[in-house]
Structure 1
Amino acid sequence: MRYLATFLPVVALLSACSSQPKTASAELHSNPFKGNGGFLLEPAHSGTVLGGDFSNNQAVNAFIDKMVRKHGFERQQLHNVLAQAKNLDWVIRLMDRQAPTPTTQGPTGLNSAWIRYRSKFITPDNVQNGVAFWNQYRDALQRAQQTYGVPPEIIVGIIGVETRWGRVMGKTRILDALATLSFNYMRRAEYFGGELETFLLMVREENNDLLDLRGSFAGAMGYGQFMPSAFKQYAVDFNGDGHINLWDPVDAIGSVAHYFQQHGWLTNGTVAVQANGQAPGLESGFKTRYTLAQLASAGFSPIIPLENNQQVSLLKFDMGTRYQYWYGLPNFYAITRYNHSNHYAMAVWQLGEAVRDAR
């Protein structure tokens, strides 16, 4: 999502369910623990705090200066909140594990990579959980399709792959994750500093206690695992209560659909079409672009007709004994805007279709 975290959702699934933000009410605007330019804090979270994992950190001091100057935050309150943030060394270790590393060795041949990846999501129990989610939120899914043109199976597929339909939204306190990555993870400190900035603006606007909100180790939030920057650009109040709450399934459904609409989803368009043929040496992936004539000359043909003037990508999936090829269409590329992975996009689509077919 991204922007969203492009980290494999499987890692996020290792976490337990998160706490949900408390519902805001009219009384919050006069809450004594929320001043002008500050944000709501429960009594246990307010007050002056000494020390902390990020005390005497020059990057933190510079960040506070920016938030006061640029957004009018209360300096002392922001200092006290960041003093309560915890540095999580294990978060940095997980991030380093996912960082791209140079390799001198090319592909080692068929190894069933796609079958293993797919089996993590498309199982009988998981499909039935998806059916239950679809049935429970059928009205919201239909309204999202009418509003944004994105079919229910895509929204259900995304939420299923990301959080098992809300069962595993992450248990890491978001403030801790983003502070750790902003101030102690130099490789991507600028990016995560921007996410922390947007997160603080979000909790101030939505009257959440930021010390309660939990998500993934990278700071992704709610049913759809939006990063704060994705919240800012694409999240919507789809249940009409005056607040945007990504831990609310209806708001999450509308926000995921809006995300796809804004990333070029074609209403009534398919995602991919399977191909006949084999050409292991031909470049593949969602970034590739071929005409149908180019792929035909390489020995490929679609199992159903495609428009002659359409550009497509060539997708290759390792089935263990052979490669399976697909023509990737614009809607497949749209799914990869959520997570830049061929496996991820295909799993989302096929999981959503499996849930739809099982209803």
Structure 2
Amino acid sequence: MSVQRTDDGLTLGAETSGRSRAADPAFEAEAMAFERKLAAKASAHAAAKGAMADMATKAKAYIRSGVGGAWDHADEQLAEIFKTVGQEGVEKSGFVGTAVADVMAVFDQGTLSEQYTHIVRFFTEVLARDLASSAKRAEIDQRMKEAQLNMPFLLDRRRAMLRAGGTPESVVTRDIAPVPQGSAVEHQGDARVRRNDVLKALHPDQDPGETGRTEHTVAQTGLDFSDRQKAMHTNDDPSWDVQQDALKWLAGAKVWMINEKNTWVEAQRKLSLPLGGGPSGTTNTMMSAAKALQADKYGARLASIAFLVGASHHTVVEIMAAAEPFGCEYDPTQGIYRNIKPLTEDELRACGKDGRFPGETTPAGKNGN
């Protein structure tokens, strides 16, 4: 079953729409191709990988101090934490299950996609719950200090949680990673709707079946892929081929449909910038995590581009707009691709056909005469 659009103005996200809604479809097509290459370049970039490794090291230090230093064996306390940090299910992009050895390996030397997803889970499911707890606050504060976390930021989040009556059981992502006022992410709720909800509304008597899986192979994502991630696939389907078969990951750009009547969406359509899953709440969370773990903000944004574009969850403008309130500058025009720190102009041009940015008619270094 395939639904591309409804009378209410809903459109599937990146690379899935049957008809472009961009003002300039040719620019959009160039931008989509540019973004695929950009994601691959970002995934191999030292700044993106370094930011994830830095955050993973600090998260590991915090976790380790809470379990008496255990890390090199299947400690029971560690196993309980990893049941929260890890996730089962081959459809969950980046994850490797909950086995202690596998999750330990992610924090020690995981791929970018592995570390990205596990850092987010650590931040929202472990650190947030600890902050909301009324028990052992002095111990938790000491662990945060020893792990070199951002104490002023985290203590401010704790105070906000307490004012709201938050508990470890009730705390949610936005308690530790609030959406800044004026952020594009404020539009997220109105900018998209779940595709399955649309299918059920259109065809209430039909089973929508399996929807939302990516169509990309590992190579097409541009992401490194570990033996742990491969095992998640082959355990689910022994015939799965890492070289030829599409990943079994869910893709946000296919899970969600874009609401064309949203004002933020309309503005991006006028610019002909590709859209996927709407303004990126995951980027908002990652940028908050980078602030809490005192990691390089541009490295964290680049890692978001690598993973979220590579795995077809979001597009560049959805990520760049979400990261802007955290001090990451970007050009909110068609010139968005010309300044993506920390990449150089040469690195960025390498993502375009013949060294051109989307919409640029003259190849780099040519005068057009």
TM-score normalised by the chain length of structure 2: 0.22
Q: Which has the higher helix share?
A: 2
Q: Which has the higher strand share?
A: 1
TM-score normalised by the chain length of structure 1: 0.23
